[in-house]
Structure 1
Amino acid sequence: MNLYSEHYVTQKTERFVNKIWCLDNSIGESLIENKLVLPNGCFNLAIVTGNAIEVHTSKNKYEMNKGIYFCSQMTNKVLVNIGPKTKVIIIQLHAWTLSMFPKYELDNFSDSILRINSQELPFTVNIDSQIETLLKTINTYFEELSDFHSEKNVIEKICEFIKNNEEEISVSKISSALNTSQRLLQIKFKTATGLTIKKYIQILKFRKSVDQMVNSDLEKLKLTDVALYNKYFDQSHFIKKFKDVTKTTPKMFDPNSYFLSQKR
């Protein structure tokens, strides 16, 4: 049994849900320690069964026993210890997804985890459901949500503009493209995601760099190339930003210590 696995939603659901991923130590007899997760610009809903998972963010340590947890946007690497007989299913939500539910104000909520009741979710989740059942529930709900919200709101438009633009992005460029004031965009984005637009851009740039490193031969791909391709000023700037998140240099980075996205 693989400790880490990914499961994909329908094309329509992908508008709101990136994927479902699973950390499965349900038949394991020992603790799995010191695994790492990198920020990726997404929210996560974690469904824990079995014993417990321990998560260290840059702000706090969380003991996550059986239950459902809301994981905010992360800005630094997260350390994970998975207890024996424990399984965690994680629903990865895009940055704009929660903006479809105006009751959530997240402007002061990042690098944090909150235990929630299943009744707080807009869809029904049985904590002991298998992934196949959960996928069906998620697809049904978010496909209907996509039909109901056929028009993209401002948060989704901001994220889409950032992801689709190959040039260096700034808040001023986004505000010009959307014909909205910079201040209004900043306030709306922070309220919906817990991040500034600038921080979100930095996270996406960082993850794109890591994915490029992991999926390439670093002996042939120079760090300068990675830096310039991903719009860093130079190699030194890239290394500094890399160390800010991982606390190590790109050359010392060990992909085997991390749960990294599988290449589709």
Structure 2
Amino acid sequence: MNLYSEHYVSQKTERFVNKIWCLDNSIGESLIENKLVLPNGCFNLAIVSGNAIEVHTSKSKYEMNEGFYFCSQMTNKVLVNIRPETKVTIVQFHAWTLSMFPNYDLSNFTDAIIKIDACELPFQTKIETDLNSDISLLLNTINTYFEELSTLHSDKNVIERICETIKLHQEEITVSEIGKILEISQRSLQIKFKIATGLTIKNYIQILKFRKSVDQMVNSDLEKLKLTDVALYNKYFDQSHFIKKFKDVTKTTPKMFNSASYFLSKKR
């Protein structure tokens, strides 16, 4: 049994959904505890099947039994304990995806999780919470919905354009520069982005830079790759600045970071 697995959506759906990932302890007989997840600049729809998963964010502890949960942007590491006979399937939405539903104000919603009813989901096809549910059925449902959404909204809104601009500049851009490129005032950008994501633009950029540095560390030989190199490559001021930002999120130093304790994205 693979405890962690990743599943990928269609190219058109990738505009809104990064991927689907699973934490599967469905045939396990013991508690999987003290596993960690890092912030990644995404929202998550968590589908819990079977018993329950316990999640500790920087703000609260959540007991998530079978059902559907909406997870906000996380700004610090999250600790999870997965009970036996439990599977958690997570649909990972890009930062701008929720902005397609402007009735949501997420400005004060970070590091938090809420349980939602199945009727609140926008998908026409019912999503099952059965332990033996087929991931391909979920992928079909997600692809069908978001491919249609992409067709209906071919023009990118301001939140998607902000994120696209940040990516194009490899996270090395200020709010002022984004405003000039998009011809929108800094104040308007900040307000719209905070309502749509719960983060400031600066917070979002910092999270993306942090994840890039972690990926570089994990996919390289840290004994050979100096921290100074990681810091400079990811445009931190210096090694000390990088270590401080790293500790803000993980509560440990880069050299003490144990990737085996974390659920980390697979290299694609």
TM-score interval, smaller chain: over 0.9
Distance in structure 2 (CA, Å) of the matches to 1:82 and 1:169: 39
Q: Name 1:13's counterpart in structure 2.
A: 13
Q: 241, 245, 250: which is aligned to 1:241?
A: 245
Q: Name 1:191's counterpart in structure 2.
A: 195
Q: CA deviation at 1:163?
A: 1.2
Q: Name 1:163's counterpart in structure 2.
A: 167
2:5/2:21 contact within 8 Å kept:
yes
SS of equivalent to 1:50: strand
Q: CA deviation at 1:167?
A: 6.4
Q: Name 2:77's counterpart in structure 1.
A: 77
Q: Name 1:181's counterpart in structure 2.
A: 185
State yes or no: 1:33 paired with 2:33: yes
Flag structure 2 segments of 5+ consecutive residues without an equivalent. Answer: none
Flag structure 1 segments of 5+ consecutive residues without an equivalent. Answer: none
The aligned length equals: 264
Q: Name 1:217's counterpart in structure 2.
A: 221
SS of equivalent to 2:156: coil
Q: Name 1:102's counterpart in structure 2.
A: 102
Q: Name 1:111's counterpart in structure 2.
A: 111
Q: Name 2:208's counterpart in structure 1.
A: 204
Question: Which one is further off, 83-92 or 167-176?
Answer: 167-176
Q: CA deviation at 1:104?
A: 1.1
Distance in structure 1 (CA, Å) of the matches to 2:230 and 2:51: 41
Q: CA deviation at 1:63?
A: 0.1
The aligned amino acid for 1:99 is S
The aligned amino acid for 2:172 is E
Identity in percent: 81
SS of equivalent to 1:190: helix
Q: CA deviation at 1:127?
A: 2.4
Q: Name 2:129's counterpart in structure 1.
A: 127
Deviations for 1:123-161, whole angstroms, at most 9, x for unmatched residues? 142323421100000001000101111000000000011
Q: RMSD across aligned C-alpha pairs, in angstroms?
A: 0.8
Deviations for 1:82-107, whole angstroms, at most 9, x for unmatched residues? 00000000000000000001111100
SS of equivalent to 2:79: strand
SS of equivalent to 1:35: strand
2:73/2:197 contact within 8 Å kept:
yes
Q: Name 1:87's counterpart in structure 2.
A: 87
The aligned amino acid for 1:211 is D
Q: Name 1:136's counterpart in structure 2.
A: 140
Distance in structure 2 (CA, Å) of the matches to 1:121 and 1:155: 22
Deviations for 1:182-205, whole angstroms, at most 9, x for unmatched residues? 000000000000000000000000
SS of equivalent to 1:99: helix
Distance in structure 2 (CA, Å) of the matches to 1:219 and 1:239: 16
Q: Name 1:2's counterpart in structure 2.
A: 2
Q: Could you state the TM-score of these two structures normalised by the residue count of structure 1?
A: 0.99
Deviations for 1:14-35, whole angstroms, at most 9, x for unmatched residues? 0000000000000001100000
2:28/2:85 contact within 8 Å kept:
yes
